[in-house]
Amino acid sequence: MGSIRRYAKTAMAWEALSRPDAVGREVHTLLLMANGRRSEQELSLLLGADVSELAYGLMEKGYLQKTGALFQPEADDDVHAGA
């Protein structure tokens, strides 16, 4: 069984969300919904299309990051940066 890919927003994604016209509707929607808890499959169902390639591309560009936790809220990002 393969691992479940989940994506969370980076600081770059949060900045892009304030400029939806700069990234396009599909990207903006995916960035909005990527919360670190939804799987790639769930995101695909919500958007009505396979988001695998788009999500991977956004990860490569620094908008999304993979998260391995089953339930990792974005507010916990500072916990990982601590001592």
pLDDT 10s digits, 20-78 = 898 999 999 999 999 999 999 999 999 999 999 999 999 999 999 998 755 444 454 44
Residue 82 lies in a domain: no
Structural domain span for residue 11 = 6-67
What does the CA dihedral 66, 70, 73, 78 come to, rounded to 10 degrees?
-60
Q: What is the CA radius of gyration of the chain?
A: 12
CA atoms of 60 and 40, how far apart (whole Å): 15
Q: What is the mean pLDDT of residues 9-24?
A: 93
- Residues β-bridged to residue 6: 39, 67
Q: Is residue 83 part of a domain?
A: no
Residue 31, domain member (yes or no): yes
Question: How many structural domains compose the chain?
Answer: 1
